[in-house]
Structure 1
């Protein structure tokens, strides 16, 4: 009885749909988000900077990430970090390697406007769940950069030239795992990893909440659903 009363008293609007819930997001929205979870992550864990994504950057997950970043819901970052940690454990990734997680940083001006770094909140949730060291200031974004949504690959590379520098709190004996909210072309991740590697640090890969869907990698069911729903998709602000 007391547990039921407490759950009613401490309910709040779900940030994704507005319905009352005693959780970070309601059960219905959790089911919707999980429908976009990547099932074959080994397809992405390859190359010079392997990627471990939680889900596909589509529809419900795309809107939830936009809600986190632009509607001031950093608690969604904590939740996404926990989901990433659970998937990492289930995939038995790097079980015997000592890790340290480094978030992709925001420039101080954008950090001041937004109030939090979404990549840092995701990384913090991941590290707390796995009891892995967190380096919130391991990298510094030393100059502001343009939004890369509509930039070409060449423009993205020029935009990120000398954008990052080493920060503090990095441990040389550990493998560094970068963290961000979205992975699209990988330009940002590679630029950040390059700074760390040039300084002699070992970079294992990058974890992200979402990945854009290259046609050759996407599950057929996800591709079909995406095409069917494309006219209804919501673009992040």
Structure 2
């Protein structure tokens, strides 16, 4: 290759690169290699540690550090592209777990935003994560399986009981899900799992319509490490 052509290709590659939203380094992907490494350091050793009744939760990582910042940027700083790698990593972890061998395979339904909030934000981050998750796992996606019918106030700062009351009748079954085959369970997808109030409200509505729920797959879980360790210890006894 001639020197001028090599230089032109280097210039073209630099021009085509975007910037990492977390550190502003040039990158050809959503994140630069350094930030990707920092994000993956937040991954749970056992994503299925919380997969137990009454609310089975599969969580890719711990809600904190770099991944907490990435999720905040995705939701509040118009960075929807961040959802793609997060959904992919969640999907890869799912495929490596025994849960991927479920029979029948679940239908994936993201936790929805209220239409007003989604219009303001421009997208539903849980929907984007679910799309990437399904592209990775091969599971079927029902993007509008649930709809948010009440515009609830922010959950941050509310007690567990206040969160439950805030979300009591927040959801309804989407039109397309009314035709859902009842022998196929639903796998809910969201960005963060905290107290479970949002998930329980969604499950209540689905169960009321005769639809079973396998559990929740979340990118992160805001559960204390001590609790996770105790669960892991119990599961290996």
- TM-score category, normalised to shorter length: 0.7 to 0.9
Uncovered stretches (5+) of structure 2, i.e. residues with no partner: 1-5, 231-237
2-structure distance, mates of 1:175, 1:213: 25
Quote how far apart the aligned CAs of 1:99 are: 1.6
Aligned length: 220
Deviations 1:138-167 (A, max 9, x none): 111101001011001111111011111111
1:200 paired to 2:210: yes
Q: TM-score under structure 1 normalisation?
A: 0.88
Deviations 1:30-69 (A, max 9, x none): 0000111011223211012200011000111100000100
Residue equivalent to 2:31: 25
Check the 8 A contact 2:153/2:166 in 1, yes or no: yes
Query: Comparing both structures, which one devotes a greater share of its residues to helix?
Result: 2
Q: TM-score under structure 2 normalisation?
A: 0.88
For 1:184-223, what aligned pairs fall within 5 Å after superposition? 184-218=194-228
Residue equivalent to 1:223: none
For 1:67-216, what aligned pairs fall within 5 Å after superposition? 67-95=73-101, 96-170=103-177, 171-172=180-181, 173-216=183-226
Check the 8 A contact 1:43/1:217 in 2, yes or no: no
Residue equivalent to 2:62: 56
2-structure distance, mates of 1:202, 1:161: 19
1-structure distance, mates of 2:229, 2:80: 30
Quote how far apart the aligned CAs of 1:218 are: 3.8
User: Based on CA coordinates, which of the two structures has the bigger radius of gyration?
Assistant: 2
Structure 1 residue ranges, 4+ long, deviating more than 6 angstroms after superposition: none
Greater shift, 210-219 or 131-140, is seen at 210-219
SS in 2 for 1:44: coil
1-structure distance, mates of 2:100, 2:137: 12
